[in-house]
Amino acid sequence: MKRAYRYRFIPTPQQESLLARTFGCVRFVYNSILAWRTDAFSNQGLKVGYTKANAMLSSMKKEPELDWLSDVSCVPLQQSLRHQQTAFKNFFEGRASHPTFKKKTHRQSAEFTRSAFKYRDGQLFMAKSKEPLRIRWSRELPGDPSTITISKDCSGRYFVSCLCEFEPKPMPVVAKTVGIDLGLKDLFITSDGFKSSNPQHLKRYEQRLALLQRRLSKKKKGSANRAKAKLKVAKLHAKIADCRMDATHKASRTLINENQVVCLENLTVKNMVKNPKLAKHIADANWGELGRQLQYKALWAGRTVVKIDRWYPSSKRCSCCGHTLDHLSLSVRSWRCPECSIEHDRDINAAQNIKAAGLAVLACGA
């Protein structure tokens, strides 16, 4: 299997200048070819592939006014066209929206293949640079990377992602299965009755974020003070995102380590965040990322993740007798079954039903 290992590094002034030029060239090439392909399709009905796009890039480099494209490595420019080709493929097959133009104020990235970097003696060198990247090696690489992606986020931090081959080691089999119900007050509730509190990182820093955003809105556009205020907002957003991702990783790792089978609902978070009252809280809970992490971590550890139908009435169905209520409002947190007269905690009952339905799906092989 292939796995990406992400590290933070601090570039030297020369490397920072080189990366700024590389990011700019990648962005310029991507946007220019995207505009050319879009015009060719809308005006002439022609679908331009990677081969023609790469030929167009070669002709662009020969133009005298664009000779600065040769100041950086050609590999990130070609890789950006490959990514654009993948984006168009996903668009035409209905998996994604139409590719959009890259912006200077958003996250910047450049991908380097083997011919554009060197990894030797625990040091990483990128093309056009004689000094190694000053990387904070938080863990060792399992082997030589086949591809590296250097990125810069909106808060000014630099990261390098190394794609390596690695051999996953299955964890010992445990005789424990669990069903989890995702929530807002508690991040997840297990069928055993455990309730994991929701850290609500956005709510914790909300007042500070609102203050910084008010200060930003009062700065003159294009001024140096506005750039400083914008950087402060970006750094706080990055801190919130890092805290949220850290909590999600710890929750998913705990569930995978302690259970052989994890059952959960196949929620469409993309549609759920359209609710104007709950969108902020659902996004802060990070449900979609939690489900994604459970799947790939289960694959590496030899565990099983079962997703049941999102329309399964897990909250309205009695986990003891199977009676299903006609209606159950979101404000009702506990209810008594009219058939067996058992008092149910809404979330624990839903988790128990999800576990039963997931094990049934696993047994039937559906």
How far apart, in Å, are the Cα atoms of 85 and each of 23, 35, 99, 106? 19, 13, 10, 21
Q: Say whether 265 is catalytic.
A: yes
Catalytic residue among 265, 289, 343, 345: 265
Phi, psi torsion values for 168, nearest 5 degrees: -70, 145
Residue 366 reports pLDDT greater than 60: no
Predicted local confidence at residue 333, as pLDDT: 85
Contact criterion met (CB below 8 Å) for 117 and 110: no
* pLDDT tens string 31-84: 999 999 999 888 887 788 899 999 999 999 999 999 999 999 999 999 999 999
- The backbone region for 228, taken as left when phi is positive above 0, alpha when psi lies in -120 to 50, beta otherwise, is alpha
Kindly state the average pLDDT of the residues 173-189.
Answer: 92
Contacts of 63 (CB under 8 A, 6+ apart): none
* pLDDT tens string 151-166: 999 999 999 999 999 8
Instruction: Sketch out the chain's domains with CATH numbers.
Output: 2-165 (no CATH), 177-197+241-364 (3.30.420)
Q: On the CB side of 229, how many CA atoms lie within 13 Å of its CA?
A: 19
- Tell me the whole-structure pTM to 2 decimals: 0.88
Tell me the pLDDT of the chain averaged across its residues.
92
Region of poorest pLDDT, from 46-50, 196-200, 259-263, 307-311: 46-50
Region of poorest pLDDT, from 105-109, 236-240, 260-264, 318-322: 318-322
Contact criterion met (CB below 8 Å) for 161 and 152: no
Kindly state the average pLDDT of the residues 221-239.
Answer: 96
Kindly state the average pLDDT of the residues 133-145.
Answer: 92
Strands annotated E in 127-246: 147-152, 158-165, 177-182, 186-190, 195-197
Q: Say whether 347 is catalytic.
A: yes
Alpha-carbon gap, residue 106 to 154, rounded angstroms: 6
Catalytic residue among 93, 111, 140, 181: 181
Sign for the CA dihedral angle at 25, 29, 35, 38 comes to negative
How far apart, in Å, are the Cα atoms of 54 and each of 110, 145, 204, 216, 360? 17, 25, 48, 41, 51
Q: On the CB side of 267, how many CA atoms lie within 13 Å of its CA?
A: 22
Predicted local confidence at residue 365, as pLDDT: 67
**Sheet architecture: strand order including 108-113:** 2-9, 158-165, 147-152, 108-113
Predicted local confidence at residue 87, as pLDDT: 94
